Structure 1
């Protein structure tokens, strides 16, 4: 009888061998012991499952084997469950995470070794699953666990070494060429194995328990507008050792808070607006700490939060900056990046002396190639509740890999060690320093400036309203604090204007009609996700279902139009 590895093998750093390293598991995967034939489902996307159905492969009653890399693991689990699968196995193919070959993996590089098995949550709805839409305080009403939006099937991560053992024995038709990976074999669809009586027995022993998690919040109170908050945040928990995710970001925030406190203690300086430092708990289990805190203080934050600047991790590579932002903050991010010295000496020698220069050179915007690529804000980190539910403008930044590498190949594995950071990613911690400096520069800009630098070129799509508002700003008496406060409040209301209390179509937990993740991949941001997702459904729907979907599309389009008009109107003093 063949048995998969229950833990990841220590390879280099001493901490990989500590006895309390947990078994490989996926958070919220259902406990259970199931047995069935194996089906290979590529990346587990909607199209992948549709292909299997068209190929005559019935997923119902089987165990699905799918790859990480193109979709959030919780989306894969949801699709497998909807298809009637008994369970789900997840692995990372070396084609995606060790493309240079088996001799150039950790500890010789940052690429994934055969024994790695990334952990992670499989819960699709963010926050405490027992208190949907309301904060998980002591007085909260909690629904029974069986009613919670968590998987009802067992889900388990395995290494690509173990995936090789399974895939090499599978039967069925050969998978399409685009489904083949870099394991040395022909990948087959299944169901089942060459030996007809072989099956997979998947046993998961997860136990969900009630526990208390803590957020750590520090405030440097503003001198003139203490009730306006520029927020900075990073989460404090990790699946395993977490040297990259989140500790690279945690180190940056600790250093930044130390510098600001030292400046205050030595000079008495306070920013114009309050700086709020947020250390979030239980992010890895579905953004629990930040979402519940946002739900608890939604009214105050909606009225008072100026912006939220997130650094989930400071680095996941050292090639270039990767930033996600709402449009209203984009210009401010660009200007800060232009002021930060380039940590890469080869780039400096080539004449690219700032972080911005390398960012624009190595990751240009495909539409405006003279500018760096600014990605949309999706979910998967602690800006979710602030951005997508109450409309606080958010940004997330880090250093990342080149365009051919999928994020951090050692993400959520036991090999995310201090040695990985110190010896491979960032000798001398220069890239950490650059991200910290960018984070602090942007925070100071948003906390100190009166208005003009604060939201330069904001809401450029609302041409008429912006033009009129620009005239107001040009004639503004900047020595009149009430006048300055008035225009700043109008600017804050722009992002809030995109919040639909009814939520996106079929997704009441997402309220921002402009920036939201696609429901098919919670990690990725999509402009007008409600419209795009509905059009995707229409394309794939039967003729009988298209009529109702077109109605949904028309209804949501009307809502989006209304909120865009509202956003333009809040820049005016007029009621209508």
Structure 2
């Protein structure tokens, strides 16, 4: 048996591509007897509404059945023939057991009832711990009191990306991962960012008064412009449309906008579309209570990652010809303080502000001239991402990634300290469960500490770009821990639709275990999706995982009441400010979000099948296809010369139907499959994993349009772009192009059809209906 134990130990500690259900070993005496072991999991889980057959995931709490083949010889058989009735009965029983054993083929595992008193033996094929025990173990490992020393350890007043403070924190995270017995490593990149000038400054001059703000916006265009200033509220598209409807000329203007509602990058991009020359962004007292002198920091890259190596990783810029992301702005951008903005606003002339914009100021006129000068300088920085992994026992090469930003402009307590602390505590808890409590995850969990998050998820995106081929086949989910605690009154989640059902069940479980349960109070009010879900935005670190790499992702946060956290991007993001925003419940809230993240991650690595709701995308596709169909018919009625009757939506509708049938077909395959068959589970899981990835358009370059997801990405390849293009036809916009639309239409149609084909399985499984 020592040899058997040695063989099993090698399986547990190794990293095979997959495991067979049985491990066969010879005994120490070298005879032909064999030991065959399997796992039985006959208890179905309680259904939670998953669109891919959640009820088929078992609890993995059955005892393995062990049968040993008993040695028999002709001499034994002859002896049994002439023995007493008692010996005959014993022989009969032995024969019965042997016959029973032969009937136990591997594919019939689900139909076998193990002996209640059979000895439990591990095979490495699946975890024996049921889900209720996993939940209880995680709850035991996590307490609010344990977060206080972790907060202290990972707090820092100065840890900007690439700085000694950032490197020191990275080393602390790496040390923790090693202490927990995890395999750990670092990933080094040389990235190019933009910092304020080391000598000199950025400045603005208005009516003879010069201001020199110390806050800045990385990736702004540089230079000096002079023009009349115009107030544009939050700088959203509809704000600029309202100004244009007032016959206000926007070309060449310096635009003054409030911070909030949308990202800095989106404000600048919207202004650039109107041919503005520069953008000034300030925190308005209606949204921020941070004083008149607080400086704002941020970036204006309409994308993520190093914008000077778009679509490929940054390891040495000297190896590449000069190239820039299409998301870099061509106009100047600068933050100013509330006090500076007040001084400008009170001197503006021109038209009154539209209703709802404020009643005390004017919009500005041609005589309100301002000079803006931006002198930011490009800087190359070495950054390190830090990783640790808890390896799975069945499919070790399939993994969920859990990540948190480590850097910040200033103290960054809510920005990075809390998320890093949650990451480390979750790694400690799950590692302890594996080492000391017998929990054996089927798949692996990768923990990641990112650098350069403040410059636009640079560390995370560069890692994605560097390993995109590997990750798209192996990483099945990303859980983002950035900014998870910013208030205590509400709770918001942004995620891939594939994960919505898993999120719902995790909320219920954590809410039932959490004390006080009011921390998830919004969940219980009416429709949970309308109360909790929000769109996944471009400036969220989970967005490139989803829209660039096709990895289902989730991001979540406790929020203040009716507002956003005011101190992101400032030097005021401290423990004291976060205490004030959370009624001093930071440790309790951190414990809750850690449990929530843990429930999602553990469910994904515990169950036979990945909990992904394929039918959610079916509803989204059908809704958008219906919108496109209606708008195409409307344009054909109004302007048939633009879109002739020959252009039909039939094939797009057909592709939508193909996805629907393919997703239902996969649900049927799950229902009819033996989930104790490890290879079958792996095949089904790979089909599920391919869904998000196949929504990435193969017809656009990741360098020019990195967010290629046709449903959740950005660019002309998306279904939303098709809808907007049809609106342009209806508005008689000169930018509307019939040939371009038909090309976009055809490529989007086949992208959906291709996703359906992949979901259907092997090429020989396809038919005309799919």
TM-score range for the pair, normalised by the shorter chain length: 0.7 to 0.9
| 2:533 alignment counterpart | 374
Give me the whole-angstrom Cα distance separating, in 1, the residues matched to 2:277 and 2:550: 39
Give me the whole-angstrom Cα distance separating, in 2, the residues matched to 1:573 and 1:118: 58
1:210 and 2:368 correspond: no
Gaps of 5+ in 1: 7-22, 99-104, 106-111, 194-198, 367-371, 520-525
1:471 and 2:471 correspond: no
1:387 and 2:557 correspond: no
Greater mean alpha carbon deviation, residues 528-537 or residues 169-178: 528-537
Greater mean alpha carbon deviation, residues 216-225 or residues 506-515: 506-515
Greater mean alpha carbon deviation, residues 374-383 or residues 165-174: 374-383
Normalising by the residue count of structure 1, what TM-score does the alignment of the two structures yield? Answer: 0.82
| 2:28 alignment counterpart | none
SS in 1 for 2:541: coil
Whether contact under 8 Å (1:445, 1:454) holds in the other structure is no
* Alpha-carbon offset, residue 362 of structure 1: 8.0
Residue from 358, 363, 369 that aligns with 1:188: 363
| 2:485 alignment counterpart | 315
Whether contact under 8 Å (1:538, 1:549) holds in the other structure is no
Higher helix share: 2
Give me the whole-angstrom Cα distance separating, in 1, the residues matched to 2:548 and 2:387: 21
Residue from 51, 70, 80 that aligns with 2:271: 80
Assess, with a 3 A threshold, how the Cα gap between structure 1 residues 472 and 145 changes in structure 2: closer, same or farther: closer
* Alpha-carbon offset, residue 130 of structure 1: 1.6
| 1:509 alignment counterpart | 706
Greater mean alpha carbon deviation, residues 145-154 or residues 329-338: 145-154
* Alpha-carbon offset, residue 562 of structure 1: 2.3
| 1:164 alignment counterpart | 342
Residue from 277, 283, 292 that aligns with 1:92: 283
1:422 and 2:613 correspond: no
Normalising by the residue count of structure 2, what TM-score does the alignment of the two structures yield? Answer: 0.62
Quote the RMSD (CA, aligned, Å): 3.1
Gaps of 5+ in 2: 1-207, 620-658
1:440 and 2:598 correspond: yes
| 1:142 alignment counterpart | 320
Assess, with a 3 A threshold, how the Cα gap between structure 1 residues 451 and 560 changes in structure 2: closer, same or farther: same
* Alpha-carbon offset, residue 550 of structure 1: 4.1
* Alpha-carbon offset, residue 90 of structure 1: 0.5
Give me the whole-angstrom Cα distance separating, in 1, the residues matched to 2:599 and 2:762: 27
Assess, with a 3 A threshold, how the Cα gap between structure 1 residues 61 and 283 changes in structure 2: closer, same or farther: same
1:258 and 2:449 correspond: no
Whether contact under 8 Å (1:320, 1:363) holds in the other structure is no
1:120 and 2:298 correspond: yes
| 1:500 alignment counterpart | 697
Greater mean alpha carbon deviation, residues 77-86 or residues 166-175: 77-86
Whether contact under 8 Å (1:518, 1:533) holds in the other structure is no
Assess, with a 3 A threshold, how the Cα gap between structure 1 residues 118 and 572 changes in structure 2: closer, same or farther: farther
Give me the whole-angstrom Cα distance separating, in 1, the residues matched to 2:275 and 2:332: 12
Larger radius of gyration between Structure 1 and Structure 2 = 2
* Alpha-carbon offset, residue 379 of structure 1: 2.3
Q: Aligned runs of 1:531-546 on 2, under 5 Å?
A: 531-538=722-729, 542-543=733-734, 545-546=736-737
Whether contact under 8 Å (1:230, 1:443) holds in the other structure is yes
1:412 and 2:569 correspond: yes
Residue from 215, 237, 261 that aligns with 1:70: 261
SS in 2 for 1:387: helix
Give me the whole-angstrom Cα distance separating, in 2, the residues matched to 1:415 and 1:384: 26
Assess, with a 3 A threshold, how the Cα gap between structure 1 residues 44 and 333 changes in structure 2: closer, same or farther: same
| 2:555 alignment counterpart | 396
* CA offsets 1:155-182 (integer angstroms, 9 cap, x no match): 111122221110100111112113327x
SS in 1 for 2:479: strand
